[in-house]
Amino acid sequence: MNLRELAQHLGLSKTTVSRALNGFSEVNEETRLRVQEAARRFNYTPNISAKRLATGESGAFGVVLPGASSEMADPVFAEFLAGLADGAGRCGRDLYVNATFDGEEAGYRRLARAKAVDVMILANLKVEDLRIRLLSHLGLQAVTCGRTAGSLVYPHLDIDHEDGVRRAVDLLTGLGHRAIALVSGPADLSASEQRMVGWHTALDRRGLTAEAGLFMAGPATEDHGYRATRALLALPTVPTAFLCASMFLASGCCRAIGDCGLRIGRDVSVIAHDDGLATIRPEAFEPALTTTK
């Protein structure tokens, strides 16, 4: 059932039916009800492609999957994606997922030229993120999760990583900790930098110094969490507390602590970021983990 057929059934023009269904005011209320009723009865749904062609909008959000396979399979990204798909669905949009088999930039160019999406969604923003400039150059709208350093203005949405870390450090210093390590994600991520700033300022305020040696950046994996923590525990002045940027880092961190014969809550403290993930929950740790959200 398409628009013309529906209109014929009702003895109306395509115009009127289209307007009735799209909520235009110049349609008689009685007619509108009649149209809506018929649309429901005949199970009419506008053809997406036609609608898009006519309006010039694609009605879709775009996400480009991070190219590196390490990030590609990131469970956090998976939850992010699920949330996006859900949100897109709720407001009647599609979510286009593009894998960058031939380079991220090529992916964006393709989407832009083909007018495949209305808005791109960027995650995992870097401190200096070239994608923002590229997209604006391609005339593609974008919304980012996270923000770059600098004064460039664009629509974004972010976690206050800085304050999160600051409050975590405050908690730990309040408990008497002096050597607090920061087990961080990739150094080029804007989130990582924000966390580092928070770490510095919170320690400064207490008159403590943020030792460069207590900062370990790397991939947000269990493995790196383990290695980083082992390295930290081998330092001359062993840290007594660990701030982990992700649950996976924390998982590795806890394993390393256990392997070194230490006990969390007695010998050392651990605080991780990202409570609320379905995949890996703080309650599953032994003991249950303190987290920021």
Partner DNA sequence: CCGATCTTCCAAACCGGTTCGATATGTTTT
Partner DNA sequence: AAAACATATCGAACCGGTTTGGAAGATCGG
Taking CB under 7 A as the binding criterion, the range among 14-22, 104-112, 145-153, 177-185 that sits at the site for DNA is: 14-22
Least distance in Å: CB of 138 to DNA?
16
The one among 94, 129, 193, 274 contacting its own copies by CB under 8 A: 94
Residue 274 gets the label, from left (phi > 0), alpha (psi -120 to 50) or beta, of: left
40 binds its own copies (CB under 8 A): no
Residue 56 burial class via C-beta count within 10 angstroms: exposed 0-12, middle 13-18, buried 19 and up = exposed
33 binds its own copies (CB under 8 A): no
| DSSP 8-state code for residue 288 | P
Dump the DSSP string for 212-245: GGGEE---SSHHHHHHHHHHHHTSSS--SEEEES
Identity of the residue, 23 or 236, whose beta carbon is nearer to DNA in the bound complex: 23
- Non-local (6+) Cβ contacts of 270 within 8 A are 241, 242, 244, 250, 253, 254, 257, 264, 289, 290
Q: How do 241-244 and 180-183 pair as beta strands?
A: parallel
Taking CB under 8 A as the binding criterion, the range among 27-35, 42-50, 173-181, 207-215 that sits at the site for its own copies is: 42-50
Identity of the residue, 53 or 143, whose beta carbon is nearer to DNA in the bound complex: 53
* CA pair distance 168, 241, nearest whole angstrom: 10
101 binds, among its own copies, DNA, none (CB under 5 to 8 A by kind): its own copies
Closest CA to 192 of 269, 244, 150, 238: 244
240 binds its own copies (CB under 8 A): no
Least distance in Å: CB of 197 to its own copies?
30
- Write the binding mask 53 to 92 for DNA: x where contact by CB under 7 A, - elsewhere: xxxx------------------------------------
The one among 9, 36, 46, 96 contacting DNA by CB under 7 A: 46
Taking CB under 7 A as the binding criterion, the range among 49-57, 99-107, 126-134, 196-204 that sits at the site for DNA is: 49-57
* CA pair distance 140, 116, nearest whole angstrom: 10
Using DSSP's 3-state secondary structure scheme, residue 202 falls into helix
User: Tokens 């008497």 correspond to what residue?
Assistant: 176
Identity of the residue, 49 or 136, whose beta carbon is nearer to DNA in the bound complex: 49
The one among 196, 222, 274, 291 contacting its own copies by CB under 8 A: 222
Identity of the residue, 26 or 176, whose beta carbon is nearer to DNA in the bound complex: 26
Closest CA to 169 of 158, 159, 177: 177
* CA pair distance 254, 269, nearest whole angstrom: 10
Binding to DNA in span 172-201, by CB under 7 A: none
219 binds DNA (CB under 7 A): no
8 binds DNA (CB under 7 A): no
- Write the binding mask 62 to 81 for its own copies: x where contact by CB under 8 A, - elsewhere: ---x---xx-xxxx-xxx-x
Q: Where would I find the beta strands (DSSP E) of the chain?
A: 60-65, 94-99, 119-122, 141-145, 156-157, 180-183, 215-216, 241-244, 269-273, 290-292
Q: Which helix (H) or strand (E) holds 38?
A: helix 29-41
Binding site for its own copies (CB under 8 A): 43-50, 52-53, 58, 65, 69-70, 72-75, 77-79, 81-82, 85-90, 94-102, 107, 110, 113-116, 222-223, 277-280, 284
Residues that bind DNA (CB under 7 A): 2-4, 11-16, 18-19, 21-22, 26-29, 31, 44, 46-47, 50-51, 53-56
